[in-house]
Amino acid sequence: MKHQLEFQYPHQLKTILSQTPWVYIPVGAIEWHGHHNVVGLDGVKAHGQLLRVADAVGGVVYPPIYTGHYTGDRKAPFTYMVSQSSLYQLLKDVLCGLEKDGFQKAVLLNGHYPNHIFIGYELMREWKNENHSMELLSIRESNFERISGDHAGKDETSMMLDLNPECVDLGMIQTDDENAALEEKGNWLEEDDSHPLRGVVGVNPRSSTSEYGSALNKRLVNAISGWIKNGEIALEYEK
């Protein structure tokens, strides 16, 4: 709870504003992420990553926003999305409130990648063109080199094994089918619910490990921490 905004007293937030006035906003979704991941993966993941940034360079982490726009898996159960305009206005209002209170830098980490593609990137671009005192960085993991941006595949599942292993159950996707076990890459969005990899896009998550996830998380945390400290960040992909 050390860096979580919702658990701070007002006097603690005033101290943060006087010393390390940056805030991190994890944005996710409630969405099917295979049989082996919790449906809140996107927000849980981004929240854990940003807590590590705050541990490294200070600041405070806003509660996860479990509001997503768009899914490529329109048949998926337990998946709840909102319009682009609704999410844009929510994020803009939150950012303006944080700016009003004196935060100087804000990071929107879009754990649900379409949030960045359709909202976060445009919001950051427009924010820069407006007269704001608070700097804004809006990104997703796959902006960074060697992070694939899959969906419930090896990368996302490994990151979760490092951050919140209690939210992953690889036993749910084990199978006696030798051919299925040999699959390495694919798109299983169209499979029915009985398929062990239904809803997965990317490298087969059966090979996920916390060690691999730790390396990916460190790359992301170091990049964001560098932007906080130096105002620079090396992105492989802008959108």
Instruction: Note down pLDDT in tens along the chain; length 239 residues.
Output: 899 999 999 999 999 999 999 999 999 999 999 999 999 999 999 999 999 999 999 999 999 999 999 998 888 999 999 999 999 999 999 999 999 999 999 999 999 999 999 999 999 999 999 999 999 999 999 998 888 889 999 999 999 999 999 999 999 998 766 555 545 668 999 888 888 999 999 999 998 999 999 999 999 999 999 999 999 888 877 77
With tokens 């990049």, the residue in question is 223
**Which residue range is the domain that position 184 belongs to?**
5-229
Residue 1: burial class (beta carbons within 10 Å; 0-12, 13-18, 19+): exposed
- Number of domains the chain contains: 1
What are the start-end ranges of the H helices in 68-175?
84-100, 113-115, 121-129, 154-163
Residue 228: burial class (beta carbons within 10 Å; 0-12, 13-18, 19+): buried
The answer to the question of residue 28 being in a domain is yes
pTM of the predicted structure, to 2 decimals: 0.96
Task: Decide if 174 contacts 145 (C-beta within 8 A).
Answer: no
Q: Give the Cα separation of 74 and 79 in Å (integer).
A: 8
Q: Give the Cα separation of 25 and 41 in Å (integer).
A: 15
Element (DSSP H or E) covering residue 136: strand 135-139
The answer to the question of residue 238 being in a domain is no
The answer to the question of residue 91 being in a domain is yes
> The domain that contains 73 carries what CATH number?
3.40.50.10310
The answer to the question of residue 234 being in a domain is no
The answer to the question of residue 176 being in a domain is yes
CB atoms within 10 A of CB 84: 15
Q: Give the Cα separation of 224 and 232 in Å (integer).
A: 9
